[in-house]
Structure 1
Amino acid sequence: MKYIVFILFTVMTNAAAQLMLKYGMMSMGPLSFAGVNPLVKVLQIVFSPWIFLGLATFVISMASHLYVLSKVELSFAYPFLSLAYVAVAVFAYFVFREDLNAYRIAGIAFICVGTVLIAQSGRSHDEASPVAPQSVQTSELTR
């Protein structure tokens, strides 16, 4: 549980990146590739300020996630990323006025309950068995 701050940082940067990408795409208006070189259009999208910032935030989120993976079990860390769905839904409701109906709220509640259950079971690599994982040779996989 001592790495929960890094896990939550990963979740929040992931959610923030989604919100930036959405805002960036909304600010671009309707997409049309008519009469435009598709490569040029893709570059315009990628290098628009909010899209670029969102992509950069994803890189930060991924770097944080890689750090987390070096410290805790994957089966513990990965389910926490589902909390990004919760954060995105809540922020999209307030920022973009997106619908947050009963079904979505129920789904969010299930995600939260599941994440709490997973959090109760977690342990870091430091707390796991003191034996380091053994490397597996390719020839051993084919047996």
Structure 2
Amino acid sequence: MRVESLLLILMSVTMSAIAQLLLKLGVQKGQNGSLLTVGITYLTSPFVIGGLALYGLGAFVWLFVLSRVELSAAYPFVGIGFILTMLIGVFALGEAVSAARIIGTLLIAAGCVCVARSVA
């Protein structure tokens, strides 16, 4: 796999993980009320709007990746999103993680390394 393709994959995955943080920040308020009221609160949140926009941009980058890399080689890197999202949860949101979650995340990382090394 070319370095350019790998960087684009990492960019797309990172954008998705950051989008998750923005979405989480955007939905922390406004959980009471009717579905319509809550929906309006969410959809007018700058964090939710930013998160959705970042998802869209990340999806565009992903399409670019898929036009150049085999799906079976690119898709396992989506697992890095689990790692980034966990780290963002811990460091940006102060979430606690268990040993089982850390071990599972390390297994995902090991799988990504195996896939990356297997691509000619």
Q: TM-score, normalised by structure 2?
A: 0.91
- Give the corresponding residue for 1:140: none
Question: How far apart are 1:114 and its partner, in Å?
Answer: 0.2
Q: Secondary structure at the match of 2:95?
A: coil
Q: Secondary structure at the match of 1:9?
A: helix
Q: Secondary structure at the match of 1:71?
A: coil
Distance 1:55 1:122 in 2: 32
Question: How far apart are 1:80 and its partner, in Å?
Answer: 0.5
Structure 1 runs not aligned, ≥5 long: 124-143
Query: Is 1:93 aligned to residue 90 of structure 2?
Result: yes
Query: Is 1:24 aligned to residue 26 of structure 2?
Result: yes
- Percent sequence identity over aligned pairs: 35
Q: Secondary structure at the match of 2:60?
A: helix
Distance 2:43 2:76 in 1: 29
Over residues 31-69 of structure 1, what are the superposed CA-to-partner deviations in whole Å (9 max), with x where a residue is unaligned?
Answer: 1234xxx34531331121001000000001100111100
- Give the corresponding residue for 1:45: 42
Q: TM-score, normalised by structure 1?
A: 0.77
Amino acid paired to 1:94: F
> Which structure dedicates a bigger proportion of its chain to helix?
2
After superposing on structure 2, the runs of 4+ consecutive aligned residues of structure 1 that deviate more than 6 Å are none
- 1:107-126 to structure 2, matched below 5 A, reads 107-123=104-120
Equivalent in 67, 76, 89 of residue 70 of structure 1? 67
* Number of residue-to-residue matches in the alignment: 118
Equivalent in 73, 98, 102 of residue 99 of structure 2? 102
Question: How far apart are 1:91 and its partner, in Å?
Answer: 1.4
Distance 2:38 2:102 in 1: 37
- Give the corresponding residue for 1:4: 6
Amino acid paired to 2:94: R
Distance 2:36 2:98 in 1: 38
